[in-house]
């Protein structure tokens, strides 16, 4: 029997068993670094510059940053909850509560801003505790619990103001979200700097502290987290408290943005905050970080401005945004979950 020597192609294939296909390498890069989100943001902004007159003006840039800041702050709590393996559908109610409480207590009852803010934050803490305790202690789906708490908070606020908000926010609060506002003499809206500080603080907590590691471990596998001596119940509850408190803070900023109380001001942020998390690439159960949500919020802010400039109807804008979310979910959904890779 004649034995033939292997060809060069066969030698090459056998000699490189660990060769990673390009698509797999790209997917690995995407898991480690939000490359697609950055490319999408640059492409969308570049498209706006090329097709819309005045899109590169400071006024438009500030509008993107202010809207992105408010959405990013609303998505901060949702990011924490998603990383721990839950979901929070009460964010809109707490945003509206923070908005109305500040406007009513300061404008109608003439409280100081500090005292009114303390009451609003206390509402957030109590509501967040209810979300976390009920969902964890009784093993009820967080979606159901947070929807129930949302209805309860909204009902209590409406009962308190007899169905209509009449208060106005302190004038100085509007300066925090004004496009022509300045920070330490720099022509930067204060809300943008607030967002930057919050983003840095959240990212440091998630990546550099024991609390952050506990959050990730709980999101990956609660049983394994317990074996690693993580206080899973405390981590879960604290995540929901943080989400509610951050939502109340967004409501306080929105009171200054609009100048008055509005019981529906938080409604757009219910799904937009979750969309910012998903578009950014943070997925349920311990994969992602807040920088991805920051990018997701900026992408959605640019998309919203482009759709508005195109004079599309509200229905068309919702369909396009929904299609974008479905496309992103389809892309990330093809990856194995973190718990299956370790």
Residue 303 scores a pLDDT above 70: yes
Average pLDDT, the chain: 88
pLDDT grade, residue 66 (50/70/90)? very high
Q: Which residue has the higher pLDDT, 110 or 281?
A: 110
Q: What is the pLDDT of residue 291?
A: 93
Residue 68 scores a pLDDT above 50: yes
Residue 193 scores a pLDDT above 90: yes
Residue 151 scores a pLDDT above 70: yes
Are the C-beta atoms of residues 48 and 248 closer than 8 Å to each other?
no
In a domain, 187, yes or no: yes
Give percent of the chain with pLDDT exceeding 70: 87
Q: What is the pLDDT of residue 108?
A: 93
* Digit-coded pLDDT (tens) for 2-20: 444 444 444 444 445 557 6
Q: What is the pTM of this model?
A: 0.88
What is the CATH number for 237?
1.10.3470
Q: What is the pLDDT of residue 236?
A: 98
Nearest CA to 180 out of 195, 170, 171, 191 is that of 191
Compute the average pLDDT of residues 126-145: 97
| φ and ψ at residue 117, rounded to 5 degrees | -65, -35
In a domain, 156, yes or no: yes
Tally the domains of the chain: 1
| In the block, residue with structure tokens 């995407």 | 30
Are the C-beta atoms of residues 37 and 68 closer than 8 Å to each other?
no
Residue 332 scores a pLDDT above 70: no
| In the block, residue with structure tokens 């060769």 | 19
In a domain, 113, yes or no: yes
Q: How far is CA 249 from CA 76, 101, 103, 218, 254, in A?
A: 11, 11, 13, 26, 9
In a domain, 159, yes or no: yes
In a domain, 191, yes or no: yes
In a domain, 47, yes or no: no
Q: What is the pLDDT of residue 89?
A: 97
Q: What is the pLDDT of residue 46?
A: 96
Q: What is the pLDDT of residue 27?
A: 64
Residue 333 scores a pLDDT above 80: no
Q: What is the pLDDT of residue 9?
A: 45
In a domain, 229, yes or no: yes
Compute the average pLDDT of residues 243-247: 98
How many CB atoms are closer than 10 A to CB 148? 16
Domain span at residue 283 reads: 56-324
Nearest CA to 328 out of 12, 17, 10, 40 is that of 40
* Digit-coded pLDDT (tens) for 95-118: 999 999 999 999 999 999 999 999
pLDDT grade, residue 338 (50/70/90)? very low
Q: What is the pLDDT of residue 106?
A: 96
In a domain, 214, yes or no: yes
Q: What is the pLDDT of residue 14?
A: 44
Compute the average pLDDT of residues 265-290: 87
Q: How far is CA 147 from CA 88, 89, 131, 135, 263, in A?
A: 8, 6, 9, 11, 16
């Amino acid at each position: 029997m004649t034995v033939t020597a292997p060809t060069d192609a066969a030698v090459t294939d056998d000699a490189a068993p660990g060769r990673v296909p390009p698509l797999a390498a790209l997917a690995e890069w995407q898991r480690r670094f939000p490359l697609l989100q950055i490319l999408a943001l640059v492409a969308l902004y570049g498209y706006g510059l090329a097709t819309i007159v005045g899109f590169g003006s400071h006024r438009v840039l500030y509008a993107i940053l202010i809207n992105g800041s408010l959405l990013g702050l609303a998505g901060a709590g949702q990011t924490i909850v998603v990383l721990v393996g839950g979901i929070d559908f009460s964010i809109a109610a707490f945003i509206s509560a923070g908005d109305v409480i500040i406007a009513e207590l300061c404008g109608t009852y003439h409280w100081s801003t500090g005292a009114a803010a303390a009451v609003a934050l206390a509402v957030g803490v109590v509501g967040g505790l209810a979300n976390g305790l009920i969902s964890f202690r009784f093993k009820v789906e967080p979606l159901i619990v947070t929807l129930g708490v949302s209805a309860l908070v909204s009902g209590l606020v409406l009962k308190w103001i007899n169905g209509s908000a009449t208060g106005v926010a302190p004038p100085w609060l509007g300066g925090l979200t004004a496009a022509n506002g300045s920070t330490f003499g720099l022509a930067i809206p204060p809300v943008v700097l607030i967002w930057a500080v919050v983003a840095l603080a959240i990212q440091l907590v998630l990546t550099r502290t024991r609390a952050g590691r506990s959050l990730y471990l709980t999101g990956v596998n609660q049983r394994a987290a317990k074996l690693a001596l993580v206080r899973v119940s405390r981590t879960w509850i604290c995540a929901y408290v943080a989400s509610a408190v951050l939502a109340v803070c967004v409501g306080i900023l929105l009171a200054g943005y609009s100048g008055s109380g509005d019981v529906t001001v938080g409604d757009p942020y219910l799904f937009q905050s979750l969309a910012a998390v998903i578009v950014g690439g943070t997925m349920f159960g311990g994969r992602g970080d807040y920088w991805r949500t920051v990018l997701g919020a900026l992408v959605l802010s640019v998309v919203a401005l482009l759709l508005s400039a195109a004079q599309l109807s509200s229905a068309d804008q919702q369909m396009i945004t929904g299609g974008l979310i479905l496309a992103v979910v389809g892309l990330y959904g093809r990856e194995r979950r973190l718990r299956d890779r370790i």
